[in-house]
Amino acid sequence: MIKGVLFDMDGVLVDSESFICRAAIMMFKEIGLDVLPDDFIPFVGTGENSYLGGVAGKYGKPIEMEKAKARTYEIFGDLARGQLKALPGALELIKDCLGKGLRISLATSADRVKMEISLNEIDLPPSTFNTIITGLDVARKKPYPDIYIKAAESLGLEPSGCLVVEDSVSGITAGKAAGCKCLAVTTSFSPAELTEADWICSSLLQVPDDALNW
């Protein structure tokens, strides 16, 4: 029986993917490397160390990770100010889950600074969630299951009683490996790429009824 819902953030609650991609491209440009948006696709949902480090590795460009992340977040904050929007149905789904008495956790591979910028821009207080787990709280990022196992534990629940809401292939893989059921929203990847999920929807305005009733 479903007892909790574990929400990814980027591409699920907020339309931030294009903004962090632009910020990363601008950061790389500043250090003399021209990269493309498609370079980041394999690393979507895996946390900024992988997101930036994977692209740097592709081009053989060593980077100082903490410095690169700090600059990327600085640019992201500037780009996102007044521009980020909650994705359709995201706030309604959170309200619906709470109304059903389900416990909810935010489980994002992003670092806390990026999470705070994103939630602030869509006027979603962190206190809305019973717990929050960020990429800084786990050693192994998605597609490893660690973040969803930890999120379930933080709610006092077994993963088997939790629904993961994700938009990325790596996130669905992580959720299934943790033992959760998974709802995929096709914000970032096509339905054909998200077939590992238990349910797939085009937006959170169209969540299948049985995804929250099992």
Q: Assess whether 123 carries a catalytic annotation.
A: no
Token pair of 35 as six digits: 């990269």
Q: Which of 10, 15, 146, 167 is catalytic?
A: 10
Calpha distance 205→113 (Å, rounded): 28
Cβ proximity of 183 and 211 under 8 Å? yes
Q: Assess whether 10 carries a catalytic annotation.
A: yes
Calpha distance 49→152 (Å, rounded): 24
The closest alpha carbon to 45, from 131, 142, 161, 127, belongs to: 142
Torsion sign over Cα 189, 191, 197, 202: positive
Q: Which of 8, 15, 146, 198 is catalytic?
A: 8
**Encoded amino acid at 169, one letter:** V
**Angle at CA of residue 169, ends 188 and 20, nearest 5°:** 45
Active-site residue list: 8, 10
